[in-house]
Amino acid sequence: MPKDATVYSLDSTNPRTAPSKPTLNDQLAAILGDLRERIGEADEINLDFKGKLHVHLDVKHGEDLPLVEAKLSAMDGMFSQISRGSTPNHPFSHRVSALVTI
């Protein structure tokens, strides 16, 4: 009986033929791209990781805050704990923050 020299991963898949999973950078870039596409009211969008991944959207017009919050909550449960706050170093902007829950 011939020996099998193929290398398998821990889950018994062949790494050469298994479909490649997107990298973390690709996943984060996809989140940012999706947010920029869907929420045009945000002037700046940032991701922040301090034990948990948060997204911060800076908005110039206060009347856009409810719209931004509604759009975040409608994005397939991807975001939770949506809140408002001040924008550091930008006194005339408003910030909407949320926990990324994917």
CA atoms within 13 A on the CB side of 49: 4
Task: With a cut of 80, say whether residue 102 has pLDDT above it.
Answer: no
45-88 confidence digits (pLDDT tens) = 999 999 999 999 999 999 999 999 999 999 988 999 999 998 88
**What pTM value is reported for the model?**
0.77
Higher-confidence residue: 91 or 40? Answer: 40
CB-CB contact of 79 with 99 (8 Å): yes
Residue ranges of the domains in the chain? Answer: 24-100
Task: With a cut of 80, say whether residue 17 has pLDDT above it.
Answer: no
Task: With a cut of 80, say whether residue 6 has pLDDT above it.
Answer: no
- Residue count of the chain: 102
